[in-house]
Amino acid sequence: MQLISWNIDSINAAVQHQSVRGEMTWDVLNKIAARQPDVFAIQETKLKPTGMTKKQTTILSELFPDYHIYINSSTARPGYSGTMVLSREEPLEVTFPKISAPDTMDIEGRIITLEFDNFYVSTVYTPNSGSALARLEARGAWDDAYREYLQSLDAKKPVIFSGDMNVAHEEIDLKNFKTNRKSAGFTNQEREKFSALLDAGFTDTLRMKNPDTPGIYTWWAQISKTSKINNAGWRIDYYLVSDRIAAQVSDSHVLDTGLRQDHAPIALEINI
């Protein structure tokens, strides 16, 4: 089974591809379609509460024919956040869970979960702690609630979950760790919450396969013109699985996006 996950940073920008960066995003989307993943999870869709436009639906359906498409859009702020999952197999059930998160996080379209016969597949767009760490406390409450939610799934069936989790777990997971210790995504609190998630019975698949390999990143800041060229990135996108199926993972890696900055897609191959 092949799964791909990607923070696309706007479905509309991808399908319109009217800028250099938009063309790059469109190219990556086409390469993913050519791989025909069993499940393709997308974060930061930035769709309206009503979902995709007719044009967006047509284009995605042409790229991914015969896929079932599920959308969770933000109703807190239109064109903000949002997730989507495309699945070749129709799941038993699809849920858009609310996890009793603080602030407006529960209505920002951040989670979609698909239930299959023997496992769950879920995707998440974890809230960013924001500039000046204004949302750090709420983010911590989110992490606790999200961990409890995953544990509730794991008690029933193994879970495969992915997404932009907005945290670099260890120093190996970002280039400039010394200067980012108080930055959103690398605070002690966020890192400790991710450790607690792993301790709750889940495995970081890429690090399992590459325990000591430096320089593997999934995000490069757009504000710096040389971040991708110099590989000055962060690994903040993950595929995690229940510990009891971790041995069934055959590969976990980052897809090459060339010179495109921002997020890169991640891929998981698992025998399940």
Mean pLDDT of 94-118: 98
Mean pLDDT of 120-132: 96
Q: Residue 160 has what pLDDT? A: 99
Closest by CA to 14, choosing from 269, 262, 239, is: 262
Q: Residue 52 has what pLDDT? A: 96
Question: With 90 as the cut, is the pLDDT of residue 252 above it?
Answer: yes
Q: Residue 219 has what pLDDT? A: 98
The pTM (predicted TM-score) of the whole model is 0.97
Mean pLDDT score of the chain, rounded to an integer? Answer: 97
Per-residue pLDDT band for 137 (boundaries 50, 70, 90) equals very high
The CATH number given to whatever domain includes residue 187 is 3.60.10.10
Mean pLDDT of 99-123: 98
Question: With 90 as the cut, is the pLDDT of residue 147 above it?
Answer: yes
Pairing of strands 159-164, 202-204: unpaired
Q: Residue 114 has what pLDDT? A: 99
pLDDT in tens, 192-215: 999 999 999 999 999 999 999 999
Tally of structural domains, the chain: 1
Q: Are the C-beta atoms of residues 45 and 71 closer than 8 Å to each other?
A: yes
Question: With 90 as the cut, is the pLDDT of residue 269 above it?
Answer: yes
**Catalytic amino acids?**
125, 164
For residue 112, give its domain range: 2-270
* Amino acid letter, residue 13: A
Q: Distance between CA atoms of 253 and 244, rounded to whole angstroms?
A: 20
Question: With 90 as the cut, is the pLDDT of residue 131 above it?
Answer: no
- CA atoms within 13 Å, Cβ hemisphere of 173: 21
Cβ neighbours of residue 213 under 8 Å, at least 6 residues apart? none
Q: Residue 263 has what pLDDT? A: 98
Question: With 90 as the cut, is the pLDDT of residue 90 above it?
Answer: yes
Label residue 19 exposed, middle or buried (CB < 10 Å: 0-12, 13-18, 19+): exposed
Q: Residue 261 has what pLDDT? A: 94
